[in-house]
Structure 1
């Protein structure tokens, strides 16, 4: 379950509830002093960027 809302600065805020097992999965990808939300955001950004670049290459 997730809620999204657009902020004044143009960014979109996503509020999502995740299970602790998802947290365990992302823990190895977390950088030092990074919050879980920041990690998830960065991972999603990387996923989207790389899949977008792959589509453009074909």
Structure 2
């Protein structure tokens, strides 16, 4: 659910990724699964480094 909310927002890293995949004619479910993967990878990296969510990654 978190990936779906992040994907359907207008602004954000996940939303941008989702819209690019849709422009490349990927099916909506495939695009959403890749957004889930991207979100999980970012959250795992944040936990490992002890960082918080940043709007624009460095």
Q: Which has the higher contact order (CA 8 A, sep 6+)?
A: 2
Where is the strand percentage greater, Structure 1 or Structure 2? 1
Where is the helix percentage greater, Structure 1 or Structure 2? 2
Question: Rg bigger for which structure?
Answer: 1
